[in-house]
Structure 1
Amino acid sequence: MVQAAVQRSDFGELIAPTYSPANLIPQIGEGSYVWDTNGRLYIDLAGGVAVTGLGHAHPELIAELRAQSELVWHVGNVFTNEPVLRLASQLTESTFASRVFFANSGAEANEAALKLARKVAFDKGAAASGKTEIVAFQNSFHGRTLFTVGVGGQPKYSTPFAPLPSSIKHLPFNDCEAALAGISEKTCAVIFELVQGESGVRPATEAFVNALRTRCDEVDALLIFDEVQTGVGRTGDLFAYMGYHVIPDILTTAKALGNGFPIGAMLTRSDLAEYFTAGSHGSTFGGNPLAAAVAAKVMEIVRRPETLEGVKVRHAFCMQRLEDIAARTGVFSEVRGRGMLIGAELSERYRGQSSRLVDCGYAAGVFTLMAGPDVLRLTPSLIIPLDVLAEAMDALSEAVTQFLT
């Protein structure tokens, strides 16, 4: 049976309207190049929203997926499997953690972290005295489940779904004084992003991260680092916390971990993991062999010194080219970020128009992202060749020219 050709217009007829995708359909990806269904070529500086950290169709990942697909796809959590044990070993030997819980996404990893924090307080008897509060930060983003959307500090995502889970407090980001005052004996956990991605690519200051660690220790609260977007090499360190030299109690990651194959992970210490007793939490597909095999190969490649060193080189190149565009056109007021997570904030006269700039990028042959209405976000492959990156920056410069006309 011959399948009918699909068109972009089919989206409105077939898919729930939670998204408003671009008026093109990517069909083939190779490295940092993407071709749409009309055969047009683009350079990908979006990376599937910080997911394809090793680009499209990486040959080592394809080989790993093919090999595992000929063995076993799924066994459920009544068994363990070899790929997930290899992946867990890689994650624990290269981080502060000694235990891992696997899920399918960043939201699920964060859900697990928040549930674990509440359960630790409950099992210790602390919850009975009111130690149930979770502290998060304004303009944060932690996922789309009811719990994580409530913890996220953006009312536009959470208000329509009220009433939300209770005992959640939002404090100003990067405000040490407010954090020290707002985190109390009733706080069981503090969760935050080392770089706020969705709200503008805003890195945390070292003073702020240290203040959170100190205050959590004082009030016996767990410190959770949401590294869903910053983890697995994105910032030039294997995980962003390594660049801050502050150790969390729990870390979550996803996105680039599977390079497009859905997987998420919550990492923690053994003494905390023990509170997740048998049956207290779970995931049907979490840590399935296909996802784990791919993620283990991703970790192997990203951990290579040349990969992480290359991120720093690419960061410097992107920053220079974006600052050159800003100086020439005045379209950007600030360029900021870490590694291959970069935000270019639009100048006052262009605020609210990041979506239009992204559209101009499509016309110029380059994929970029928004980080809110005022910021252009770049999250390309960590290993994009420098000549391709230069080509992409030329296309982005052309997009800016179109944007200004």
Structure 2
Amino acid sequence: MSVAAWTERYGNAVMDTFGLPQRVLVRGEGAYVWDADGKRYLDLLAGIAVNSLGHAHPTLTAAISAQLGTLGHVSNFFGTPTQIGLAETLLRLAEAPAGSRVFFTNSGTEAIEAAFKMTRRVAATGGGTRTRVLALEGAFHGRSMGALALTHKAAYREPFEPLPGGVEHLPFGDTAALEAAFSAQSVAERGEVAALVVEPLQGEAGVRPLPPGYLALARRLTTEAGALLVLDEIQTGVGRTGSWFAYQQPEVGGGIVPDVVTLAKGLGGGFPIGAVIAYGEGTATLLGRGQHGTTFGGNPVAAAAALATLGVIERDGLLRNVREVGALLRQEIEMCGSRLVEEVRGRGLLLAVRLTRPVAAQVAAAALDAGFIVNAVAPDAIRLAPPLILTADQARDAARFFAGVAVPAEVVQQPAAAPAALSTKEYP
């Protein structure tokens, strides 16, 4: 069937929460996908930072097939070698201290929900529970009720209020505001802080990195206050920025050790899985027996997919590839000579091309027509989050698009003040 025919069936059968699909894809290989009409696309979005190894990677597909042929699901009444092995691997990659533990989920939103519940277990100085949780303006942590309370965008929040209370959103990257939130006056007026939940790079806000030193200050303030530092690495983790976790880069984290890290997206290479890493015995025991759970979390097939994904990243030296090809992609786009390109920001293979005009939606549409999948993440920003296997030649192909090879003249010449019909499609 054609893309048009499949799209019509989609509109008649699938709930209209995302709008109609831009294309209907039927297969993939490496960094490429094909639609139902047979057209090939270079996937520079990887399912929004999900398909770490690209599409149909032989090691990943073999691991999933072998595990499913042996043991598919057992419930959380039982353990499996893949679940245990994955937890041990994540603790090793996180360089987590003794007593650390992992809780498995099915998605990033669920990982945030588990972390949110952990914040409710932080005791107040005089007894009781702290309920004051800090997040940042521009934050996106998910769409379930707890995750939505931490998410900043009013359009996502307002239709579902009242949300879980106690969340305060601080100005992004503002160290003075962060210090003020922990001040004696603030504590006297609003209570003790239970946790600060923050993304090292804000993905949905346009790939905005926190300023240098911010996380180091956050670590000091939360430690002094007895609060948790929760890092949302759902989009930035699993090698996406060139290290296993973004906070591990000295210029990002400054050598800190967080209390909680949430993961998902790239962890399963395309298979749904999320995780919460709790650092140290005290944090790892905040949720006791019966206080949280999930039917499918740590499913042996999902765990096998994650183990295979992490194994290939290590075996094939993909962290180095992310750093080298990411630097090349950034450099080639910055030097492409396009009047549309203002700058490229981000780390590794999580980048945003900031445009000189608010025409990101038109540029993304032109890219799709030219055979490139990108994302208009903001009116003036295009997000790139390709598979970690992206090659130098593929990066140069992407840069040639931005140089104007495939950008229609009407987009390039559009006045800066012209409105942009932006896509609001985002996936949890």
Q: Distance in 1 between matches of 2:235 and 2:221?
A: 25
Structure-2 separation of matches of 1:135 and 1:53: 30
Q: Tell me, which stretches of 5 or more residues in structure 1 are unaligned?
A: none
Relative to structure 1, the CA distance from residue 99 to residue 222 in structure 2 (aligned partners, 3 Å threshold; closer, same or farther) is same
Does the 8 Å CA contact 2:262/2:276 hold for their aligned counterparts?
yes
Cα distance in 1 for residues equivalent to 2:378 and 2:127: 38
Contact 1:238-1:303 within 8 A present in 2 as well: no
| Structure 1 counterpart of 2:226 | 220
**TM-score scaled by length of structure 2:** 0.88
Distance 1:15 1:214, change over 3 A: same
Write the distance in 2 (CA, Å) between the matches of 1:151 and 1:126: 25
Q: Deviations over 1:227-261 (max 9, x none)?
A: 00000000001110100222110000100000110
Q: Relative to 1, partners in 2 of residues 1:53 and 1:127: Cα closer, same or farther, differing over 3 Å?
A: same
Number of matched residues? 394
Equivalents in 2 of 1:101, 1:34: separation in Å? 33
* 1:404 and 2:412 correspond: yes
Which of 248, 253, 256 is 1:246 aligned to? 256
Correspondences of 1:62-73 after superposition (within 5 Å): 62-73=61-72
Task: Specify the alignment match of 2:214 in structure 1.
Answer: 208
Q: 1:295 offset after TM fit, Å?
A: 0.1
What root-mean-square deviation, in Å, do the aligned CA atoms of Structure 1 and Structure 2 show? 1.8
Aligned-partner SS, 1:169:
strand
Q: Distance in 2 between matches of 1:234 and 1:126?
A: 41
2:400 partner SS: helix
Report what 1:127 is aligned to: 128
Matched residue SS, 2:102: strand
C-alpha contact 1:366 1:396 (8 A) present in aligned 2: no
Question: Runs ≥4 in structure 1, deviation > 6 angstroms?
Answer: none
Q: Distance in 1 between matches of 2:173 and 2:153?
A: 16
Pair 1:21–1:86, CA change in 2 (3 A): farther
Q: Deviations over 1:265-311 (max 9, x none)?
A: 00012222212111100111101010000101111122347211111
Q: Does 1:389 align with 2:395?
A: yes
Whichever residue aligns with residue 237 of structure 1, its letter is S
> SS of the residue aligned with 1:303?
helix
Tell me what 2:240 maps to.
234
* 1:217-296 matches, cutoff 5 A: 217-243=223-249, 244=253, 245-268=255-278, 269-296=280-307
CA deviations over 1:370-397 (Å, ceiling 9, x no partner): 2222210000011112222222333444
Residue pairs, 1:273-352, within 5 angstroms:
273-304=284-315, 306-325=317-336, 328-347=337-356, 350-351=357-358
Once the two structures are TM-superposed, the CA of residue 183 in structure 1 deviates from its matched residue by: 2.9
The CA deviation at 1:140 is 0.5
Supply the AA of the counterpart residue of 1:254: A
Show the counterpart of 1:159. 158
Tell me the distance in 1 between the aligned counterparts of 2:315 and 2:345.
26
Q: Quote the residue 2:117 is aligned against.
A: 115
Deviation at 1:401, TM superposition (A): 4.5
Check if 1:197 corresponds to 2:203. yes
Structure 2 Cα separation of the partners of residues 71 and 373 of structure 1: 48
Aligned equivalent of 1:30: 29
Query: In the alignment, residue 105 of structure 2 is paired with which amino acid?
Result: A
Query: Which residue matches 2:193?
Result: 187
Give the whole-Å Cα distance in 2 for the aligned partners of 1:392 and 1:127: 54
Give 2:351's aligned amino acid. Answer: I
Task: Answer whether contact 2:333 2:402 (CA < 8 A) is retained.
Answer: no
For the residues of structure 2 that align with 1:213 and 1:30, how far apart are their CA atoms? 42
Deviates more, 1:294-303 or 1:46-55: 294-303
Aligned to 2:417: none
Kindly provide the amino acid, as one letter, of the partner of residue 194 in structure 2.
Answer: C
For structure 2, the 5+ residue unaligned runs are 414-428
1:123-155: CA deviations, max 9, x gaps?
x87435xx2100000010000101111111111
Contact map agreement 1:25 1:37 (CA 8 A) in 2: yes
**Partner letter of residue 286 of structure 1?**
G
Give aligned-pair identity as a percent.
39
